[in-house]
Amino acid sequence: MEVSERIFVKISLFKMDIKDNEKVLTVRDWIIIQIIMMIPIVNIIMWIKWLVSDKTNQNLKNFLIASLVMIVIGMIIWFLSMTFLMTSSMQ
């Protein structure tokens, strides 16, 4: 086997190792995802569908998990600040 054939075989094997749910999302994909996230109720349904599905792209799944963590942190900070403001205004 020649060197060029070996390189082609290695490249072919590398391409086959990448699963569909591990490919990099394009800018178009991210724009569509952001538009879907702007639609009330649909965004929650799609969020759950994408998180539960095994076919969901891993990049999208990681983005959704990170967003969920940030939402929870924001809600905790909001709750603590509202509690602090309410208790300080009562005194």
Q: What is the pLDDT of residues 19-62, one digit of tens each?
A: 777 788 899 999 999 999 999 999 999 999 999 998 899 999 99
Q: Residue 25: which residues within 8 A CB-CB, separation 6 or more?
A: 33, 57, 59, 60
Q: Which residues contact 9 (CB under 8 A, 6 or more apart)?
A: 1
pLDDT tops 80 at residue 13: no
> Mean pLDDT over residues 4-25, rounded?
60
Q: Model-level pTM?
A: 0.69
Interior angle at CA 60, CA 57 and CA 61, nearest 5 = 85
| CA proximity to 36, closest of 45, 26, 23 | 45
